[in-house]
């Protein structure tokens, strides 16, 4: 009888363990975080980086910032860190803490509210990640910011004494005075030399030229460390939809979910594919992202994917000559010519004063006989 009783107890124990294993199998603990964003830079035809005024008026009014009340706003910078958004995916409610640093830069905008006043870092302590829907702010219009919500990510909630803020991601933005390990030289007649000066390979890039309603682009693949590729400005007009599809495909190949990739393309399509000029869009190596933007999430996600795009606008020698002529008119004796030149120079947008300052330096050197054209 004793052996039978023992056998029954063992059988019950084995059965109980099997049931526990089954229950555990039905409750996976996977926790995933995905991030996308943009490093924007600007340069002359010689490849030298130029400081420019970063965007600061394209965000909704509920955004937190540290500069809009400061006289003069943001300083001109070599790098504009634009719209990184951090998504979370979980099959259960969670509490997490997130700390992101920008050692070579300064955090300027963020949402929801952060626990630590921003400088070179932001900390969101004990945010709630929720599988149910939460009410999120809509005021401020339907700007580019809102396209980032078009994913299947979970809602997040940050709170403090007397306040709560909800969103579908963590958002931040910043500026920096450093050079990305990437250069482009425009040699004239549509010839471009693109060089990877970093320690890691660039997974892919696009050379893009936008001229009014026409868009031209050419894709290049893997660019090894220290390697360069010579490209010719594309001459066959394509569509923004074709470029958007190619860009979304490249982003998903790097690990973003399709909806995330399309949300990123939708967020930046007017700038990447709609603003006149020539630029390179390239994938920032994930190791470089980790170096420039160290990120800590507790508890540590089972999977973390970070896909940032470098947007590098540059001037060609032909465009610089046009700007030189406009700057001469702008500083000329005719008010009518000056006003006309001013209107055209304003079409350069946030790059206007960087391009104008470079032109003024060239004209000054030319008048003193340092260079000849």
- Per-residue H/E/C for the chain: CHHHHHHHHHHHHHHHHHHHHHHHHCCCCCEEEEEEEEEEEEECCCCCECCECCCCCCCCCCCEECCCCCCCCCCCECEEEEEEEEEEEECCCEEEEEEEECCCEEEEEEECCCCCCCCCEEEEEEEEEECCCCCCCCCCCCCHHHHHHCCCCCEEEEEECCEEEEECCEEEEEEECCCCCEEEEEEECCEEEEEECCCCCECCEEEEEEECCEEEEEEECCECCCCEEEEECCCCCECHHHHHHHHHHHHHHCCCCHHHHHHHHHHHHHHHCCCCEEEEEEECCHHHHHHHCCEEEECCCCEEEEEEEEEEEECCHHHHHHHHHHHHHHCCCCHHHHHHHHHHHHHHHHHHHHHHHHHHHHHHHHHCCCCCC
% residues pLDDT > 90 (the chain): 80
Mean pLDDT of 22-36: 67
Residue 373, pLDDT > 50, answer no
Say whether pLDDT at 244 is over 60.
yes
User: For the residues 3-23, what does the mean pLDDT come to?
Assistant: 43
**Does 319 score more than 60 pLDDT?**
yes
Tell me the mean pLDDT in the region 118-124: 90
Residues in a beta bridge with 309: 38, 283
Q: Are residues 308 and 37 in contact, defined by beta-carbon separation less than 8 angstroms?
A: yes
Spatial separation of the C-alpha atoms in residues 128 and 97, rounded to whole Å: 9
Which of 218-222, 258-262, 364-368 reaches the highest mean pLDDT?
258-262
The string of pLDDT tens digits covering residues 57-108 is 788 989 998 766 555 677 899 999 998 999 999 999 999 999 999 999 999 9
CB 53 within 8 A of CB 76: yes
* Beta strands 64-65 and 94-101, pairing class: unpaired
pLDDT (mean) for 115-124: 86
Residue 140 confidence (pLDDT): 61
pLDDT value at residue 306: 98
At residue 5 the predicted structure's pLDDT band, cuts being 50, 70 and 90, is very low
**Cα separation of 211 and 278, whole Å?**
9
Q: d(Cα 272, Cα 253) in Å, to the nearest integer?
A: 20
The tens digit of pLDDT for each residue in 131-159 reads: 999 999 986 655 789 999 999 999 999 99
> What is the chain's Cα-based Rg?
25
Q: What is the mean pLDDT of residues 39-62?
A: 92
d(CA 297, CA 123): 10
Confidence band, pLDDT 50/70/90 cuts, at residue 265: very high
Angstrom CA distances, 98 to 92, 145, 353, stand at 18, 21, 37
Supply the pLDDT for residue 369: 73
Tokens read off for 326: 């406009």
pLDDT exceeds cutoff 60 at 317 = yes
CA–chain centroid gap for 67, Å, is 20
Mean pLDDT of the chain: 89
Burial of residue 321 (number of CB atoms within 10 Å: 0-12, 13-18, 19+) = middle
Tokens of 32: 């995933």
Bridge partner residues of 39 (DSSP): 81, 310
CB atoms under 10 Å from CB of 122, counted, come to 21
Sheet holding 295-298, edge to edge: 163-167, 155-160, 121-130, 94-101, 295-298
Structure tokens of 70?
């400061």
- The count of other CB atoms within 10 Å of the CB of residue 335 is 8
Give residue 183's Cα distance to chain centre: 18
Q: What is the pLDDT of residue 74?
A: 79
pLDDT in tens, 349-367: 999 999 999 999 999 998 8
The pTM of this model reads 0.89
- Tokens (6 digits) for 256: 């973003």
């Amino acid at each position: 009888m004793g052996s039978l009783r023992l056998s029954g107890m063992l059988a019950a124990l084995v059965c109980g363990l099997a049931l526990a294993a089954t229950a555990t199998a039905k409750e996976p603990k996977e926790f995933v975080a995905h991030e996308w964003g943009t490093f924007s830079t600007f340069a002359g035809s010689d490849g030298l980086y130029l400081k420019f005024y970063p965007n600061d008026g394209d965000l909704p009014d509920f955004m937190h910032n540290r500069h809009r009340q400061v006289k003069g706003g943001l300083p001109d910078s070599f790098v504009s860190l634009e719209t990184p958004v951090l998504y979370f995916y979980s099959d259960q409610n969670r509490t997490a803490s997130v700390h992101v640093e920008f050692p070579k830069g300064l955090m300027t905008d963020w949402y929801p509210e952060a626990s630590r006043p921003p400088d070179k870092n932001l900390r969101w302590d004990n945010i709630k990640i929720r599988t149910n829907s939460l009410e999120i702010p809509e005021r401020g219009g339907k700007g580019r910011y809102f396209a980032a919500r078009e994913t299947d990510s979970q809602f997040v909630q940050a709170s403090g004494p007397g306040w709560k803020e909800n969103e579908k991601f963590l958002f931040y933005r910043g500026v920096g005075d450093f050079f990305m390990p990437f250069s482009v030289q425009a040699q004239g007649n549509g010839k471009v030399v693109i060089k990877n000066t970093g320690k890691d390979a660039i997974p892919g890039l696009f050379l893009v030229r936008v001229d009014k309603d026409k868009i031209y682009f050419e894709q290049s693949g893997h660019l090894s460390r220290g390697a360069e590729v010579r490209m010719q400005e594309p001459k066959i007009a394509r569509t923004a939809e074709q470029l958007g599809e190619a860009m979304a495909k490249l982003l998903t190949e790097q690990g973003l979910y399709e909806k995330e990739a399309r949300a990123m393309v939708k967020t930046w399509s007017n700038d990447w594919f709609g603003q006149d000029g020539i630029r390179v869009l390239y994938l920032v190596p994930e190791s470089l992202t980790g170096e420039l933007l160290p990120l800590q999430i507790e508890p540590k996600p089972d999977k973390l994917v970070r896909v940032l795009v470098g947007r590098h606008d540059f001037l060609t020698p032909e465009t610089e000559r046009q700007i030189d002529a406009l700057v001469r008119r702008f500083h000329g004796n005719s008010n009518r010519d000056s006003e006309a030149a001013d209107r055209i120079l304003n079409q350069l947008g946030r790059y206007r004063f960087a391009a104008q300052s470079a032109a003024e330096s060239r004209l000054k050197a030319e008048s003193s006989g340092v260079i000849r054209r």
